[in-house]
Structure 1
Amino acid sequence: MNNKSIDNVKNIVKTLNEQVPNLIKFNGEVAKQLFLKDEFNLNGKVDISVERKFLGEVLKHIPNIHRIILHDTERASSQYEELDFSKVTHAEIFDDEKLIMTIIVYDVENEEWMFRWNHNIRLPEKNIYFHSIKWDVDYIKPEIVLMYELLDPIDYHQLPNYRSVIDSLSYYQFVILRLVVGDERINQALISEKKAI
């Protein structure tokens, strides 16, 4: 990512942290690095998660110079009225033609987070994230990040680091991941990571 795009990502994150800090949770590589090393690295594409009912509020704080594409389960569009908002899965933020941020939408019912691919998998919403005291940001727990990365077709555009994250999970976190994605998918991910390195 070029310096202009990195600066734009940092500006978006700064604005969101100032305006709507309680509505966003860092996801993807940023969340994994916060978990593994307590590092808050914004020098690449940034993924955040937002509860569906707050997506509009968060999008209001993305500067108009960026192109926003919403994706639902059937199509993608920058024209919000063309999509079924209840089916929006994520939004992509572009700096010129460079993808700089993905906003992943999640649903909550009765204060329980629901896994997008199986609404029977639920956790109390307060149990899906950690808080970094050092950086004063919330981030999605690593087992949930991996659930999406291993099963979700969203292209996360990052080098895999499954082994280091999986090795750092507690027994409880690993069991949750394993129950959701299965041993075969975990093993496939570890093999593909080894090939990518």
Structure 2
Amino acid sequence: MSGLVGDCMTRSPSDKDCQDCHGRSKPKACIKVNIARLHECLEFFELILDTVRQPFAVLKTDGAITSMNEAFSDLTGYSREELAVMSLISRLVAPELRDTCNMALSGLIETGGSTLFKSKLARKDGSRVPVELTVSLLCDEAGNPAFYTLFCTDVAEREKCEAALQESVVELDRVPGDYREGARFVIMLPAIEK
């Protein structure tokens, strides 16, 4: 990396460069962050991320939300001020999925890199939105976990389409075999809102 971004983050090329303060080896894909320079770069990053419609947040290693873009605020229904004092796990993740989320984040501290998993976020209005979360761990220059980056993908429409498709398959299975041969069927899927 070069320029402003390159001064903030580096991808370590070897296991030797990816050790934590206890000398434990981290994966080759760990990303080390110059924390002091990163604070200078944050304004630049936040400006870019606010133009992206993909919900994004930065979390401390305890799950506290430190910053987010407008799309993340829109997805959850909470203002940025409200989100800035919340923990992703204790306030936004559906209670029955909190252990899964905790395990995924804890696993990243051991393995480094990124992970993708499904969850449900609780919106301010009480509704829930199914999401896929892509989470990456960033380490400080000593190789210690510093924070997580989080990208959210709302999968509600995809799940509706999958359910409609499954319902169509069930309906097709009810049609006697003699009628299915040579017949053409139209599978009706719900319209996707834009």
Normalising to structure 2: TM-score of the pair?
A: 0.27
Normalising to structure 1: TM-score of the pair?
A: 0.27
Q: Which has the larger radius of gyration?
A: 2
